[in-house]
Amino acid sequence: MYFVLFTVIVFVLLWICQIFFLEHFYERMKVNDVSEVAGELTDAYTRLDSEDFSELLSNAAVKHDLCVEVVDSNNRSVYSKEVLGDCLIHGRGSSTYIFVERIMRSSSDEIYYKIKNPRTNYDMLLYGCKIENDSGPDYFLLINTALVPVGSTVTIIKRQLGIITALLIIVAFLISLYVSNRIAEPITKITHDAANLAKGDFSTRFDGTGYLESNQLADALNYAEKELSKVDTMQRDLIANVSHDLRTPLTMLKAYAEMIRDLSGDNPQKRGEHLEIIINETDRLALLVNDMLDLSKIESGKQKLNCSEFDINSKMHEIVDRFKGVSEKMGYNIHLISDSERVVCCDVVKIEQVIYNLINNAINYTGDDKQVFVRQINKPDGVLIEIEDTGDGIEEDKIKLIFDKYYRSENHKREVVGTGLGLSIVKAVLKLHGFDYGVNSVLGKGSTFWFKIDDSHFTDKQVHLN
């Protein structure tokens, strides 16, 4: 519709200019032409001798189809050239005389007016101006040219324009029909597919074949769909995992609470054991909820790093000491092999949690010798932290999975307190810092989890305490 409207407007403008104003345009053009020639002649008069001027005047008259005459104030012709053959000047009738009179009376330098030739009834343009004459009284330059009637031209143009207008409106209509279909078709299709997606059908494929923008829109929507479907799967997994992880301790809580009520209420020893289980299961629940909260905070991107400078060596001692108290009672041996003191710059709370989670896993999964090795290795561009256990190791194909949320190997022991979130938190924190991390594992021998506190960007401030 807009395209057709545009075509119509273009033609309306064309009609107005060509048909209604053509005569006016034509006259203005003629006046400009004549006044330009007059300017050239008046200029030349003072410069050229009479022969050259006469030649210039003749040439101008022939070139522009004019009658040109220079008369003195007594209306006597000084130079003249007649091309039209039917001029109003050149002493014919009284018009030259009247004309000269008018120039003399006029306040401006030049005058022109339209006049009807009484013999032919055609319109003619009369132009006149003064020429300064140093040797005597001023001369007058008179120019006369025919104004060709534009009526017939207008009729021709009208017919031509009529046909072109009709043709172009039809063509514009057809092109617009084609273009609008081409633009609308992929969008209609995409809209329809988007409605399917909104209903939760993640198998919808957006197809924008047609043109660049529709393709881009389809690509963007396909991408959005992929992301949405990922979120959807994640949400389902999360609910499945969380409900599973919550159900087990809750069932146990209920079972032991019922046992206390029905059986062991009066038996202090049994009651104590059952209460202990209830407390342990509550801890497990609290751990799960805390891990979930931590991870969701980091992953939502709302948590910013709160970097500070600290000595990694004393931090490692502090963490390992904290473990020692509990784990040594259960027969675990945690060996800290540390390098010299070294100041690093990172989020101390989060990195502490990473080390804590890794040591916790090492204790949980280490072999029967219950040995865990924690190493701090200073490197020129950072500090390498390694946590090694002597457990069963991790199969090659599982290594990729263990850092995923809620991944827990099927054969983990029930006594291993874990949520399947520990390594996800490790990964999220280290990625947030931009630190490298990984695991080297040999089946049957054990695993070494490592990460590197990269302080290459911190070297100018680096302080070695010893």
Residues in contact with 328: Cβ distance below 8 Å, sequence separation at least 6, in sequence order: 334
Is 170 strand, coil or helix? helix
Nearest-approach distance from CB 288 to ligand ADP, in angstroms: 9
x-or-dash pattern for ligand ADP, window 302-341, by CB under 6 A? Answer: ----------------------------------------
Question: Between residues 376 and 448, which has the closer beta carbon with respect to ligand ADP?
Answer: 448
Question: Between residues 111 and 439, which has the closer beta carbon with respect to ligand ADP?
Answer: 439
Report d(CA 448, CA 440) in Å as an integer.
Answer: 5
Question: Between residues 96 and 361, which has the closer beta carbon with respect to ligand ADP?
Answer: 361
Told to check if 423 binds ligand ADP by CB under 6 A, we report yes
Question: Between residues 354 and 394, which has the closer beta carbon with respect to ligand ADP?
Answer: 394
Told to check if 407 binds ligand ADP by CB under 6 A, we report yes
Question: Between residues 389 and 454, which has the closer beta carbon with respect to ligand ADP?
Answer: 389
Q: Which of 234, 177, 164 is nearest to 406 (CA)?
A: 234
- Contact set for ligand ADP, span 241-300 (CB under 6 A): none
Q: Which of 124, 126, 394, 428 binds ligand ADP (CB under 6 A)?
A: 394
> Would you say 49 and 130 are in contact if contact means Cβ atoms under 8 Å apart?
no
Question: Between residues 249 and 420, which has the closer beta carbon with respect to ligand ADP?
Answer: 420
Nearest-approach distance from CB 408 to ligand ADP, in angstroms: 4
Task: Point out which span in 45-53, 219-227, 245-253, 386-394 binds ligand ADP (CB under 6 A).
Answer: 386-394
DSSP 129-153: EEE--TTSSPEEEEEEEE----HHH
Nearest-approach distance from CB 207 to ligand ADP, in angstroms: 40
Told to check if 408 binds ligand ADP by CB under 6 A, we report yes
The residues facing 338 across adjacent strands are 376
x-or-dash pattern for ligand ADP, window 435-464, by CB under 6 A? Answer: ------------x-----------------
Q: Which residue minimizes CB distance to ligand ADP?
A: 418
Told to check if 133 binds ligand ADP by CB under 6 A, we report no
Report d(CA 149, CA 406) in Å as an integer.
Answer: 94
Question: Between residues 222 and 296, which has the closer beta carbon with respect to ligand ADP?
Answer: 296
Pure H helices in 106-211: 151-198
The residues facing 452 across adjacent strands are 384, 436
Q: Which of 220, 231, 228, 219 is nearest to 198 (CA)?
A: 228
Task: Point out which span in 18-26, 77-85, 124-132, 387-395 binds ligand ADP (CB under 6 A).
Answer: 387-395
Please name the amino acid found at residue 151: G
Question: Between residues 362 and 385, which has the closer beta carbon with respect to ligand ADP?
Answer: 362
Task: Point out which span in 47-55, 124-132, 258-266, 414-422 binds ligand ADP (CB under 6 A).
Answer: 414-422
> Would you say 438 and 403 are in contact if contact means Cβ atoms under 8 Å apart?
no
Question: Between residues 22 and 246, which has the closer beta carbon with respect to ligand ADP?
Answer: 246
Which helix or strand (DSSP H or E) is residue 113 part of? Answer: strand 110-116
First to last CA, the chain: 82
Report d(CA 276, CA 460) in Å as an integer.
Answer: 53
Nearest-approach distance from CB 395 to ligand ADP, in angstroms: 10
Owner of token pair 């991390």: 437
Nearest-approach distance from CB 253 to ligand ADP, in angstroms: 20
- Contact set for ligand ADP, span 354-383 (CB under 6 A): 361-362, 365
Q: Which of 141, 292, 344, 402 binds ligand ADP (CB under 6 A)?
A: 402
Nearest-approach distance from CB 411 to ligand ADP, in angstroms: 8
Report d(CA 26, CA 24) in Å as an integer.
Answer: 5
Told to check if 45 binds ligand ADP by CB under 6 A, we report no
Question: Between residues 92 and 375, which has the closer beta carbon with respect to ligand ADP?
Answer: 375
Report d(CA 365, CA 389) in Å as an integer.
Answer: 7
> Would you say 382 and 456 are in contact if contact means Cβ atoms under 8 Å apart?
yes
φ and ψ of 295, to 5 deg: -65, -45
> Would you say 306 and 433 are in contact if contact means Cβ atoms under 8 Å apart?
no
The residues facing 110 across adjacent strands are 129
Q: Which of 248, 303, 409, 462 binds ligand ADP (CB under 6 A)?
A: 409
Buried-exposed string 322-353: b where 16+ CB fall within 10 A, e elsewhere: ebeeebeeeebebebebeeebbbbbbbebbbb
Told to check if 389 binds ligand ADP by CB under 6 A, we report yes
Q: Which of 186, 249, 382, 422 binds ligand ADP (CB under 6 A)?
A: 422
Which helix or strand (DSSP H or E) is residue 80 part of? Answer: strand 77-81
Nearest-approach distance from CB 391 to ligand ADP, in angstroms: 5
User: How are beta strands 382-389 and 110-116 bridged, if at all?
Assistant: unpaired
Q: Contact positions toward ligand ADP, by CB under 6 A?
A: 361-362, 365, 389, 391, 394, 402, 407-409, 412, 418-424, 447
